[in-house]
Structure 1
């Protein structure tokens, strides 16, 4: 009999997260009339038939096949990002109604968790520095560990993801495969083709590195199950008990060689008693239609006395916009594709970004996005290349769950060996560029019609990249200095 982890073992914030999600989704728990109860997360938990099949497979199937990861120095083909985009586009073309409904549920859950963990991350950093976090990647990483976990770890992860286990029966258990499939749906919608004429589609690549101590055998079903979330997974072994800096350097060199991405803050400080490192690497490249490079470099004010010279993009057109003097902020939405959007948030009084950040990313984001309406705007913003990395173990410790993936975690579906999880990194590379390489211009022609509003982001600002149909947030961040990344 499985036992539910007591609420005292969960962070208070985690409990409130679960309660909030349940309240929002409560309406989904009632069928027509009052004769049938439908679990509010019925699209994400095991159905009765799948439970029966699962029980049958557990008794009839042989023990999970395991394998030893090849050494990290083994020859490896580089990642083909265009092929990954094409695969996601194909997925988007095959989506059915239930796929999108499931993606909407997961999008709501990952948004709540993402805002909560973004606050943890931003509070741990200097207020004057940049921040970037991917709610989709964070949720996918935790859901991946859920797939590899047994109770009590599985129950605690399920609750932290936002789905209470209720009676802990099979039909109340989260189906990790459905969650990762929903994340694939969200990713595919982000790169879906169509929309505005001539609008390019974003590039989105997700790669997982499973770095193990020599001799640790991984279970094949677990590694294969990661494919919807991370179509490319590199299981590689190396001596993690060696000089921690040397082990980190080998991992950094390997990932840069296979992806071609450079990270400003590569891995460091590996614990020598770790046997597994789970690193997720994400590259998002979006092109801003209608914006072209301005000639030369322009000033971006880091604070009220310091500026840096940065390349800027500018263009005039109709954008979704909303301004609220009382809250000291304005929002401007820029399309990145058929369904992917960039939301730019800036303080109206130039400074006071911390207050705006708390209001936007912790309280009123969904409501305020609904207030957006078309407006003729001349938008000027920095061309951005942002790199960031954070350890989920640190964020879990801040959320008062330091043992969730600690030494006592039961990860029996990842390996039959004793798995001691070290770092769990999310590393992000974000590039926002002009959609077309036009000749640099000093100004763009003004459209006929209403007065054009000038929106210039030459001071620290916030941004969010999200998918409109599921409302899932892919990236959240603060730009403090476009030249220093985050």
Structure 2
């Protein structure tokens, strides 16, 4: 059985066994017709190429300047989406995100973990846009959607563009008009000197980030290349992002890097005056800054009483979901119980008046998609034999595919009011304290797409 069949079979099994339903492709959102294919094929055949300027260039190339002009973008909206379309895309993102989390969980045992399922998914869709033939089919299988029958090259361009645009709409909803949430995403392509990238491919990546860069780097000297890329990324991030790229393959001709960041300054969160105990394990505790949040939030414990789920709005456009082991259960047991159905995190929650205490968080983590695919026994998916003939006329060898995620949870700086629970009778508030390792996720409110997924073992360690 070939790779595509294996992947589609795996997804089907996961869907049927754990999700209790079979997804039907929402053609009204993602479909295309034969004339569209003809137009797309003509655009690819007649496509112009752009040779990126050197990473050492001090001037902004025209192709970057035009692409980073987002002033004319329409306000993001999901008004044209039905419930089926929202569920379809968010579930695809969730399933793949959980597979990547499982790979990271094994590689980073006993450590904090942070990833962005939407960012990882859109990174793969970006390569799907540039893929042809068997590579396009293999990526299609991993991404999990079942496109209309026909030319796979057309499918990757048409469906990939729609998916990438839809994912970006979801991310833009998070950052639009909400002062509590600071969201940003940067995409950088680094290619070997003299290699031309198709302008059409580069333009199709525009919807996927706030800023897009394409520069040429000499990978023949890996150490110098890593130093140049790290300096470039840090300069473009204006000191907000520290790059730690190393071990570049000198035979690589293309390196892909995404940096996604979300800082939530929650209005209803108040910093406690004194650091509080957090138990890293049964024998080790640390003192960490904690936040107190009081209000009516959705809450549940699972049927077996091994973990609790709490949903807390952060801003108008995002939900923070916290999962904590209870009843003597530990984090590894909780992770083994996670459902592959994203809506299971948010089902059967009931409103409760809750007094929540949890650590202030600053987490940053970086993963190489190539390494994650290797952990999933798919090392050849973006490997040297892959066909990316819609990225460049050159036979490209893809190097690292870096996905960096940053999440910060804090208060807006407002002082805590005097005894806000004093007006309530004792016992009205349910006390929930996250003082041992826990899991969290951030969902976009309308689509329920998972933006971030993380494990907190020690709040004092940023990664």
Same fold, judged at TM 0.5 (above): yes
What secondary structure is seen at the aligned counterpart in 2 of 1:428?
A: strand
| Aligned equivalents of 1:64, 1:25: Cα separation in 2 | 44
**Corresponding residue for 1:42?**
27
Pairing 1:185–2:169 present: yes
Could you tell which deviates more after superposition, 286-295 or 141-150?
Answer: 286-295
How far does the alpha carbon of each residue in 1:328-381 deviate from its partner, in whole angstroms, 9 at most, with x for none? Answer: 111111111223100011111465101112212x44652242111111111111
| Aligned equivalents of 2:246, 2:303: Cα separation in 1 | 44
| Aligned equivalents of 1:282, 1:333: Cα separation in 2 | 22
**Corresponding residue for 1:196?**
none
How far does the alpha carbon of each residue in 1:101-158 deviate from its partner, in whole angstroms, 9 at most, with x for none? Answer: 64442212111111112111111222x1111111100110000000011111111111
Preserved CA contact (<8 Å) 1:213 1:276 = yes
What secondary structure is seen at the aligned counterpart in 1 of 2:304?
A: helix
| Aligned equivalents of 1:108, 1:182: Cα separation in 2 | 14
Preserved CA contact (<8 Å) 2:14 2:340 = no
Out of 336, 353, 362, which is 2:331 matched to?
353
What secondary structure is seen at the aligned counterpart in 1 of 2:36?
A: helix
| Aligned equivalents of 2:112, 2:184: Cα separation in 1 | 22
| Aligned equivalents of 2:124, 2:140: Cα separation in 1 | 9
**Corresponding residue for 1:32?**
none
Distance 1:383 1:350, change over 3 A: farther
1:14-413 aligned within 5 A: 15-21=9-15, 29=24, 40-43=25-28, 45-48=30-33, 51-56=34-39, 58-59=41-42, 63-75=46-58, 91-92=75-76, 94-98=77-81, 102-126=85-109, 128-165=110-147, 167-169=149-151, 173-174=155-156, 175-193=159-177, 200-242=179-221, 244-263=222-241, 266-324=244-302, 326-349=304-327, 352-360=330-338, 362-363=339-340, 366-413=343-390
How far does the alpha carbon of each residue in 1:46-70 deviate from its partner, in whole angstroms, 9 at most, with x for none? Answer: 422xx31331453488621111111
| Aligned equivalents of 2:72, 2:278: Cα separation in 1 | 38
Preserved CA contact (<8 Å) 2:233 2:241 = no
| Aligned equivalents of 1:60, 1:465: Cα separation in 2 | 38
Preserved CA contact (<8 Å) 1:21 1:162 = no
Distance 1:406 1:125, change over 3 A: same
Preserved CA contact (<8 Å) 1:345 1:461 = yes
Distance 1:157 1:364, change over 3 A: closer
Preserved CA contact (<8 Å) 1:47 1:171 = no
Distance 1:368 1:98, change over 3 A: closer
How far does the alpha carbon of each residue in 1:441-479 deviate from its partner, in whole angstroms, 9 at most, with x for none? Answer: 796434536611111112111000012321211111100
Preserved CA contact (<8 Å) 2:359 2:459 = yes
Distance 1:165 1:324, change over 3 A: closer
| Aligned equivalents of 1:170, 1:403: Cα separation in 2 | 19
| Aligned equivalents of 1:61, 1:135: Cα separation in 2 | 29
**Corresponding residue for 2:460?**
483
Pairing 1:439–2:415 present: yes
| Aligned equivalents of 2:254, 2:287: Cα separation in 1 | 42
1:440 Cα deviation after fit: 5.8
